[in-house]
Amino acid sequence: MFRKNGAEALVDTLIEWGVDHVYGMPGDSINTVIEAFRQKKDKIKFIQVRHEEAGALAAASYAKLTGRLGVCLAVAGPGAIHLLNGLYDAKLDHAPVLAITGQVITDLLGLDYFQEVNVSRLFDDVAVYNQMIVSPGQIPSVVNQAIRTAYARKGVAVLTIPGDVPDIELDRKTRYTYAKVDSGHLEPRTEDMDAACEVLSKEGKKVILAGKGARGAREELLAFAERLGAPIVVTLPGKGVVPDKHPYCLGGLGLIGTRAAYDAMQEADTLFMVGTSYPFTGFLPEKAMTIQLDTEPCQIGKRYPVDIGLIGEAKHTLARLTERIPYQENREFLARCKEKMDKWWGKMEEQEKIESSLIMPQYVARTLEEVAEENAVLSCDVGNVTVWMARHFRVTNQSFITSSWLATLGCGLPGAIAAQIAYPERQVFAICGDGGFGMTMNDFVTAIKYKLPIITVVFNNHKIAMIKFEQEAMGNIEYATNLVNPNFAAYAEACGTVGFRVEKREELLPVLQKAVAARRPCIVDVLVEADEAPTPPKITFGQAAGFTKHMIKEFVEEGRFTLPPILRV
Ligand SMILES: Cc1ncc(C[n+]2csc(CCOP(=O)(O)OP(=O)(O)O)c2C)c(N)n1
Ligand SMILES: [Mg+2]
């Protein structure tokens, strides 16, 4: 009778959970596992990445986008270590991911053998579940438990498998367990709902702060806001929960946010937070009656004093609240917020129109709007580029993902790879700074290899520009921020596909149109202005003082005097 070995049991269990692809790089300690994937390649695809970090970032992005488990695989030692950054991205953004790594064979464990790294200890902090598999008999049940835990605790499960275990056959007594995770239907307690309704029924200046936990509840959120007469501010991970140009939407908050959102928070007497544990609490009201709705009890009141906590799902809970609260007649606050937002959009449009010798980054984000389809996926890297996209790309129905809480450079391209695998029919953009793209650009060939028609747009300012502004805001002189780049369009061509280099404003739209029509992986390398500052919605005294100090230092030490754009507004 045919009996499975450990590797086959592992792959079968993944298939049972509906996993249809994994990201990884083959090698010695996992070769038997790779052979099991080869045998089942019709059911589960092995996406061979060029760097395990890109694989882990892709797995994390897949989970963020779809809510389904992302899976990555690496050899013992160096491969496992490479996964770490992507796994932290998953941890910090609460995305369910399973990482499988090899290990030296069981007889050699603990002997400092070739490539032996204490993988369990390495992943101790990142993982919600972290097990070494020492017998193939553990495989079905432990893999089930790992996946169930990753889903239930929205985090990273790690399985470490010594190189000999995948080869060993399972005996007949192997335990087979439940390959599913059940989630209950979360509803807030009646007394908390009553208390929330009482507060929300009073007249006042109410503001809603919506995070990514409000995804999938657009209709309910808008109906709730309408009833309350309350504007909606969105966090960065929540970008897209409502359309950016919706009359109730005040855009983002914080340094990358809008003035209208900033002012609304200053004035609010009631704050309703949904699906967010917003970290920059200095931008929240100093004193407001606060209600927080979240599925996780441990998020309630974590960073900010909350008066009423509601443990429940956004969609259902918002609908129930809307039914119970009266329509707020006084719309004066909402109207004022909207007026400010209209002003803000006017200012953004002005910035998008500025002509300069190099292309303005704001204009690139704006022009992307014109070619992005309604259901496109925008995988955005980290840096000033995030600010340009957050402010100048008006999302309608597109999906927006980034490394929100880890904010790791290099997330843009892997996120786009995952998006195109998840949604082969949708248009997918990787939107990166030159610094971010440089960190994972070796995996551009992965998009070519798997025929993923990703449009990569590089905001190329030959600089890690966000850091330049951080240095200057601290009163320092810019240092170690310039980048020497290849011509990214030529790089795309050297990889065997199409690339476009854009140096003039008028070329941008036609090139982007060509790029999206190409339906093959491509890079649009756009030379953008490096000195363009992502001006905060409100400049604080500290920031102004920092820039003044920077100007004096620069003048005294380097004989230059330049007025930073941040002070020009
Ligand atoms: C892995 C990692 N290293 C360093 C940083 C710090 N960091 C944040 S933004 C940034 C600059 C990004 O530069 P680029 O991608 O060129 O975007 P730009 O700001 O120029 O638009 C750096 C170095 C980080 N977030 N992640
Ligand atoms: Mg840059």
Atom of ligand 1 nearest to the CA of 460: 16
Q: What is the pLDDT of residue 3?
A: 82
Ligand 1 pocket test: which of 53, 88, 409, 437 has the largest number of ligand atoms within 8 Å of its C-beta? 409
Ligand 1 pocket test: which of 82, 391, 464, 528 has the largest number of ligand atoms within 8 Å of its C-beta? 464
- What is the rounded distance in angstroms from the CA atom of residue 187 to the CA atom of residue 193? 9
373 pairs with which residues across the strands?
Answer: none
What is the residue whose two structure tokens read 């092995």?
46
Q: What is the pLDDT of residue 175?
A: 79
Query: How far is ligand 2, taken at its centre, from the CA of residue 61, in Å?
Result: 22
Starting from the CA of residue 532, give the closest ligand: 1
**Where on the phi/psi map is residue 251: left (φ > 0), alpha (ψ -120 to 50), or beta?**
left
- Report residue 523: phi and psi, to 5°: -125, 130
Q: What is the pLDDT of residue 569?
A: 38
Number of C-beta neighbours around residue 113 at 10 A: 14
Query: How far is ligand 2, taken at its centre, from the CA of residue 557, in Å?
Result: 25
User: Measuring from each residue's beta carbon to the nearest atom of ligand 1, which residues come in under 6 Å?
Assistant: 381-385, 407-409, 433-436, 459, 461, 463-467
* Residues 215/65, Cβ–Cβ less than 8 Å: no
Query: Which residue's CA is minimally distant from atom 11 of ligand 1?
Result: 464
Local mean pLDDT, 10-residue blocks, the chain (569 residues): 87 97 97 98 98 98 98 98 98 98 97 95 98 95 97 97 96 82 89 98 97 97 98 97 98 93 97 96 96 96 96 97 97 98 96 92 98 98 96 97 97 98 98 98 98 98 96 93 98 98 97 98 97 77 66 63 50
Query: How far is ligand 1, taken at its centre, from the CA of residue 149, in Å?
Result: 32
- What is the rounded distance in angstroms from the CA atom of residue 201 to the CA atom of residue 448? 56
Query: How far is ligand 1, taken at its centre, from the CA of residue 559, in Å?
Result: 28
Number of C-beta neighbours around residue 478 at 10 A: 17
* Residues 11/21, Cβ–Cβ less than 8 Å: no
Q: What is the pLDDT of residue 548?
A: 66
Query: Which residue's CA is minimally distant from atom 3 of ligand 1?
Result: 409
Query: How far is ligand 1, taken at its centre, from the CA of residue 380, in Å?
Result: 12
Atom of ligand 1 nearest to the CA of 438: 15
pTM for the model: 0.95
> In the 3-class helix/strand/coil scheme, how is 104-143 assigned residue by residue?
CCHHHCCCCCCCCCCHHHHCCCCEEEEEECCCHHHHHHHH
In the numeric block, which tokens belong to residue 253?
Answer: 């908050």
Q: What is the pLDDT of residue 177?
A: 87
Ligand 1 pocket test: which of 466, 469, 481 has the largest number of ligand atoms within 8 Å of its C-beta? 466
Starting from the CA of residue 383, give the closest ligand: 1
Q: What is the pLDDT of residue 539?
A: 65
Q: What is the pLDDT of residue 485?
A: 98
Query: How far is ligand 1, taken at its centre, from the CA of residue 437, in Å?
Result: 10
**Eight-class DSSP state of 558:** H
- What is the rounded distance in angstroms from the CA atom of residue 60 to the CA atom of residue 415? 8
Query: Which residue's CA is minimally distant from atom 25 of ligand 1?
Result: 408
Q: What is the pLDDT of residue 541?
A: 65
Query: How far is ligand 1, taken at its centre, from the CA of residue 366, in Å?
Result: 21
Starting from the CA of residue 411, give the closest ligand: 1
Instruction: Tell the burial category of 3 from Cβ atoms under 10 Å away from its Cβ (0-12, 13-18, 19+).
Output: exposed
Atom of ligand 1 nearest to the CA of 407: 25
Query: How far is ligand 2, taken at its centre, from the CA of residue 498, in Å?
Result: 22
* Residues 51/413, Cβ–Cβ less than 8 Å: no
> In the 3-class helix/strand/coil scheme, how is 320-372 assigned residue by residue?
HHHHHCCCCCCCHHHHHHHHHHHHHHHHHHHHHHCCCCCECHHHHHHHHHHHC
Query: Which residue's CA is minimally distant from atom 9 of ligand 1?
Result: 383
